[in-house]
Structures are given as C-alpha cells and as structure tokens.
Structure 1
Amino acid sequence: MEYVLLSDLSLQRQGCKIKVRICRLWESSAPFLKGDIFGLDCLMVDEKGYSLQATIRKKDVEELKSRLAEGNVYLIEKFNVIPSKKKFIVVERLYMIQINKWTSLTLVEENVDQIPLYSFKFLSFPHVENQRYNDTVLTDVFGRVTAVSEIAHKYVGQTLTPLRNLEIQDLEMNVLSVTLWDKFALEFDDSGILDKDGHTSLIIILAGMTVRSFKEKINLSTCSASKIYINLQIPEVTQFVDRLQPMSTSIQRINTSQQQSISPQEEILANRKNIAGLLSLDLPTSQNIKFTCEATIAEVDTSFGWWYKACYNCKSAIKTFDDSFWYKLNTIVEDGSGSANFTIFGRLAQDLIHIPAQNLATSVGSDKFTLHPLIKTIVGQKYIFQIVPDLHRFRTSAHSFKVLKIFNENLLIKSEEELPPTTQNEISKETSTSSSSPILDDDLNEIPTAKKRRLKRRLIFDEAPSTNEDKM
C-alpha cells in the first residue's frame, strides 16, 4: 500500500501519503466578524472509517479552497501532522493535519467505494447534557423533527441575524431543543413539511453542534463547523426509522415571540439613569425593569468573598462541589452622582477578567476573602451596565443591583445562552462559549489590527443568575 492509514499518523511520523475522503468542509468564522474567516477546516475519513480533522490557515485558503470538494477522495502528501486543537474540534484525536500551499492534493476517482461517505460520533439525548458548555469536541446527534418555528431575527453584535428553532425527539420520546443560526436557519426548508400527511418522518442529523442552556433547558446550537443532513441513508437512520413506534409524524409549528428586536445602539441607551436616579427608584413599580448606567468600578467588596461553589448546571450555591467555582463580584461603582453595589456573576465576570473563577480560586495562595491581583485589573474601568434592582439586598441597608449585561464602546455584545457561539480563543480551560476553530496565537497575526483589538476588547454578558444565586 502506497499510503498510510490516518490512525498511524503521529508527530514522529511525518512525510507520509494518505488516501482520504473529505466528509465535511467548512470555513471557520465568528458571528461578530461577518465576512471574515479564520481558516478552512475539514473532516477526513480513510478506508478503515477512521476520521481526522484537517485545517488550512487563512493565508492559504484562497489558493487551496478551489482544489478541495466535499465528498471527493484525494491522495494527500507534503502535509504537517500537528497537535489537535484543545477546543472546538469535530472529532477527538491527539493529532490533526495541517494543509498548506506546498501540500500535494491528487483527486482519486477509482477504487474509492470502500471509503465511507460520512463520519459521525452520535451521542444519545441523555448524554448530550454532559456536553453542556463543553466545547472540546462538538456534538453529533440525530432524531425525528417534531416542531419547527418560523424564522426570527436577533442582533448579533450590530447585525440582525436570522434564527430558527426546532425540536427533535429520540426513540424514548426525549426531546431536545435546537437553534439554527444565520445560514442554517435560512437553508432549512420548511416549505410543505407542516402539511405532510403524517406518514413520513423527517429525520435530521445535526453534526458539529455546541451544547448550551437557556433557563436551565438544554439547547443545541449551530456554529461554523456544523453540518445538517435530512433523511440521510445511513444504517443508524434506517434502524431508527424501523424502530419508530406507530404515531403521528406530523410536525408542529413553534410559536415564536413577536417582540421587536432592539439594536445594541437602542439597548445601550434604554432607561438610562445615573446612580442617584437608580437609588431613588420606587421598587414596587421598577423591580422588573432593566436600566442602563455608565459607571466606573471603584472597588470590589470581598466581605462575603469573591467566589462561591455551585452546581454546574443550575448555579445554585452548595457547600461541597469540588470543581465548580463561580464568580460573584460585589463591585462598588461610582459616576459622580453617587455610588452603588453592582453584583456581577458567573461568566459575565469571567469575561471581564478573562480567566475562570476556578483557576484563580484554586491557585496557590488564593484566598476567598482577599481580592486576587488579576481581578483588580477591572478596578478603575468604566463600563455601561444593564442592571435590575437586587431585591434581596435592597431590603437591607445596601442599595444593590444585579448586572445582566455589559456593553463596551464597540457595542460588540454576546449572550452565552441565546446567541451563537463565537470562535474567539478564550484563556479558559473550563468549558465556555465558542465555535469551531478558535483563534490561535499565530492566527492573530493574520487578523487586521483593528479587528484584533475588537476581539480583545469585546465584553460578553450572561443570562441573569438564578433565584438561588440571589439568596446567597
């Protein structure tokens, strides 16, 4: 055999030739930088069914993109075997392939039937929950489509982006919610499927998905590495259809909220008040209203600590949970008219500090009641906060507010729970938001300076903490 198998590749075994099929091919991109890509990635599979991810750096994409096509088989040589990325990969391997302009790509058209057309690693619905915010390896699932929404729109950064919600079901009647973003929402053709006679099931494969949660409900979300297949003829789908219980297969319509989308420019000015105005609020009439306030963080009060331990899934405080530390920063903010306490929770605080709470809380010499030096970097910084009154602390002598969002001067904002994952490379070793192919240090050199600054300055916001968090 003139070529080696993908499973035989290693850092020590370079200069080989491989014969593979390109199962999936995608441009790695971030929703906040529309029109820009970080590179071209693909999933390869060999005759033994072994799959491996390959990547092409941005500077080589234009030259190589036209030479690769999804579904084709190639003899490939003069490539590099490199360590696999630590996050946002579609198959879990120690190594991956880097293709460059010196790589030889020879199309093969004969004796290719033994190489599989597709490669998936499906998770059962109950196991999907274990992947929540775990973007090390993206998730493959399939199921019967039971409900579809119309296309809605939501702002991602400053761009109004289409989205569509689905519900899918497995053989045990478990249901998963799915959000298709951008092109995936537009390309999903729902014309006619709601009017089917109820005898034909619509089986969908969702490959390369991220797993998120919204209001404690698991949600699958597309990213740039995602791929969608409908009624694909593979053994797993055939067996699934054969085992379906006799039932109506009609697809329901999901009713979506018709609330008007508010642009970041509008949201950042909505219900703007200074601190003096916030402190004079009439709570019975304003407890559920969101306000915005531009203020400077003057200090972080650590009287009750700067972190707490919580259940990873619901964020409820617990006494023993070895690995799950979450930020709870009781910041004192000022704006010239007064001062108030703004409490910043969880990932919202993490994205201000750029390091997970568990990394700092478990570092040598760390103390819960002594502010870590890296957290002090936010002191003296001015932000625009979206807040709501913290009723529990308002009942005490302190006037406190819970931070829902933070805006920066570029209006580049993102919701971990509701917006599509991004490809920003985070410092976090903890599970966090992102999409396919994070930006590596070398890749930053290929991004224009202005965009690089926007990536580094971007602030991210969380969903408001649960009621249990409020009681801590």
Structure 2
Amino acid sequence: MATMSQRTLSELSHGGQEGSIVIQIVRMWDCVVYPSQEFMGIDFLAIDSEEFPMHGCIPLSIADDFRLKLTEGKVYRIVFFEIGPRYQINHLAVPFETVLYFHVSTRINEVTQGIERFPHLYFSFASYEQLMSRNQASYHLTDIIGVLQAFTDVRLLTLPNNKGTVFKRDLFLTLFGGQTVQVTLFDPKIDEFDFMSTIDLGYKPILAVAGLTLRDHQGLKHINSCSATKIYMNPSIREKTQLKIRFPYNGSPVRMLSVADIEPLSACPYYGAYNTKIASLLIMNPPAMKGLKFKVTAKIIKLQSKAGWYYHSGNCCSAGIESTQFGYECQVHGATIPQKK
C-alpha cells in the first residue's frame, strides 16, 4: 500500500483507481428515504488537503462492513475505490456530479500524521438569491448560515396521501443579506440539536445548517431537512465572523414561537419574496430574475383608468372580442356586451 501513488481528489477520473487518496470524512450519515424510512446505504462528504470536496457513497450491501471503520472528522488513506458519475443519485452534499464509490475491495487506514492540513469543516453556503432559484429539480443539497432569530415548539404534522404523521420544528434564520428564511426540521432531526438551550444563551447564535432540500409548492419556497442535514452552532469559520460584524449583539435573545405566531407568516403568499425597489426592477436582466419573487412597498397615487387597468371580455365564452364602430363583437357569438376584468 505504501508504494501506491497518492493522488488528490481533483486529479481523479472516472473508473477504478490504482492509486490512493487521503481524505477527511467531514460529514457522514445514513441515507434514509422519508417517510418510508428505507435505508439506502451510507453517504459522506470527503475533502482532501487541498480542500477539494467530493460526495461519497457506500452501497447498502457493504454499509455494515464500513460503519464501524469510519468516524466523522477523522482522516483516512483509501485504496481500491471507484470514481463515477452520479447517475440517478440526488441529494449530493456538494454541487459536483462526480461521486466517490466504495466497493467490497476498498481498504481504509486511519492517518494521524500531518492532519493539520485538513479543514475541520466544509460548507458551500447559498445566498438568498440562490435559495430562491433552487427547487426540487436540484440534484444537490443546500447549505445556509444565519443568525437564529426564533424557533417553534415541536408539532405533529399529518402527511398527505395517507402517509402517516411526522413531528416537525421550524427555525427562522437571518441571512447575511438581511432576509429571514424559514427552515423546517423533521423527525429525527428535531432531536439532534438542543434548541431550548439557545434561549438561555442571552444572545442569538449563528447556525450553519448543512444538507437541506428545497422545493416549490403552492407559491412558497420550502427549505426542509433530510437524512443528510446537520446543524453547527457558532462554527469556527470565516462566515461566522462576517455575520457577527454584520449583525452585532443587540441584547435580544432567541424567541420561541407559538403556532399562532407563525400561521400568518406561513399563509402569506409573499413569504420568501425579496425586498426591492421599482428602480432596481427596471434595470434587472429578465433571465436573472427567473424563479425569483419580489416585494415592493409603494404608495398608489393614481389609477390610470384610461391606460387600461382592466380589459374587456365577452360574456359567453373565452374567445377574444374586438371593438367596432357599433360596439363589441365576439369572434364566435357576434355582437356582445363586454364585461371588465
């Protein structure tokens, strides 16, 4: 094993590998499909000394062989593995379509020397604009970081289509841009972090939440947990320092919200909309605005009734009508009395 050439993750190409790699297991989790609770294998996020990340998969058939051999945060030398495309795999930890696969011949040995070169944490934080542009079609997961403003108590949610019930908790995080987003944690993720203890801190901590899924439903952006989700409070990273400068301590603690507090927010059709001004909208590039929602606070000073704030429609059908010197005429039913819409 010592004679094998060592390579970095960025140097690897698809197929079986003859050399070795030295990686840190930054995160590791059981890949479970909810709500069926079907176990699909073990997934992990690996990173090398050059801070190049790659999603890793240990298939279900050999998951138990490696479960006790790998520990999150430790560094390992790996030999006899494969690199390949993601195929139909979704929920990758990073937005790269190349995946590190273990197989029955894979061998691992812990490395204890020179591990200070490896970062302890790795995130790919999304901006608010990126959050709004992603949805269930994204093949990779999303990481966010923000100031914890509030959270709800655990509530029981009835799933549609007779899929049973699940416990949930909502978090409200303020991102660097000043926007507050709602993140929903589902059981068992609600028990992996002690939110009640944040109330006693006396300040609002910074949370990095890794491995979230995004979906659009009924005009709202849903940011949800999955089996890969992990929460880090006040992590020792550059983004935490930037947020502390951006939002200095103001003496207010984290709030615990009731159902009555959050129902009006959840029902609002403009939840998740980006605050902006009319002048900013006029200079935006239309393709860059695709998938985003905007909210403008403005005062209506006049209704331009002569400019056509309504249109004329026929009474009998949805076919178009035309104005003639004798009135209005439907393309199907002839003369008609229009109605304003």
The TM-score, its normalising length taken from structure 1, stands at: 0.52
Matched, 1:171 2:176: yes
Say which of 17, 25, 30 aligns to 1:27: 30
Offset from partner CA, 1:388-440 (integer Å, 9 cap, x none): xxxxxxxx99xxxxxxxxxxxxxxxxxxxxxxxxxxxxxxxxxxxxxxxxxxx
Runs (5+) with no aligned partner, structure 2: 262-289, 294-315, 318-341
Q: Alpha-carbon deviation of 1:239?
A: 2.3
Letter in structure 2 aligned against 1:205: A
Q: 1:196 to 1:228 in 2, by over 3 A?
A: closer
* Deviation of the 1:206 alpha carbon: 1.1
Give me the whole-angstrom Cα distance separating, in 2, the residues matched to 1:13 and 1:103.
Answer: 11
Q: How far apart are residue 215 of structure 1 and its match?
A: 4.7
Per-residue CA distance 1:276-312 (angstroms, 9 max, x = gap) = xxxxxxxxxxxxxxxxxxxxxxxxxxxxxxxxxxx86
Q: How many residues align?
A: 262
Provide the secondary structure at the position in 2 that maps to 1:238: helix
Q: Which residue of 2 aligns with 1:59?
A: 61
Matched residue, 2:141: 138
Give the residue type in structure 2 aligned to 1:182: D
1:118 aligns with: 121
Residue 204 of structure 1 corresponds to 207
Give TM-score, length-normalised by structure 2: 0.71
* Bigger relative contact order, structure 1 or 2 (CA pairs below 8 A, ≥6 apart): 1
Is the CA contact 2:156–2:166 (under 8 Å) kept in the aligned structure 1? yes
Q: CA deviation at 1:84?
A: 2.3
- Does 2:72 align with 1:70? yes
Aligned to 2:167: 162
In structure 2, the CA distance between the partners of 1:20 and 1:249, relative to structure 1 (3 Å rule), is farther
Residue 312 of structure 2: aligned partner: none
Deviates more, 1:137-146 or 1:166-175: 166-175
Distance 1:78 1:131 in 2: 35
Residue 21 of structure 2 is matched in structure 1 by: 18
CA offsets 1:165-204 (integer angstroms, 9 cap, x no match): 010002332110100011111223122423443xx33111
RMSD: 2.5
Q: Which amino acid aligns with 2:63?
A: V
What's the CA shift string for 1:89-128, capped at 9, x where partnerless?
1112242111022101001111111011111111112321
The corresponding residue for 1:46 is: 48
Q: Contact (CA 8 Å) 1:216, 1:313: kept in 2 or not?
A: no
In structure 1, the partner of 2:7 is 4
Q: Deviation per CA, 1:216-239: give whole Å up to 9, x if none.
A: 332310011211111111122122
Q: Which amino acid aligns with 1:126?
A: E
**How big is each residue's C-alpha offset from its partner over 1:51-76, in whole Å with a ceiling of 9 and x where there is no partner?**
01110110101111111110010000
Cα distance in 1, alignment partners of residues 44 and 140 from structure 2: 14
The within-5 A match list for 1:64-463 is 64-86=66-88, 87-156=90-159, 158-197=163-202, 200-256=203-259
Q: Equivalents in 2 of 1:248, 1:127: separation in Å? A: 31
Q: Which moved more, 1:225-234 or 1:184-193?
A: 184-193
Say if 2:16 and 2:82, in contact at 8 Å, map to a contact too: no
Q: Which has more strand, going by share of residues? A: 2
SS at match of 2:117: coil
Secondary structure at the aligned position of 1:37 is classed as strand
Using the alignment, how far apart are the partners of 1:245 and 1:218 within structure 2? Answer: 28
What one-letter code is carried by the residue in structure 2 that aligns with 1:38? M
CA distance 1:219–1:248, shift in 2 (3 Å): farther
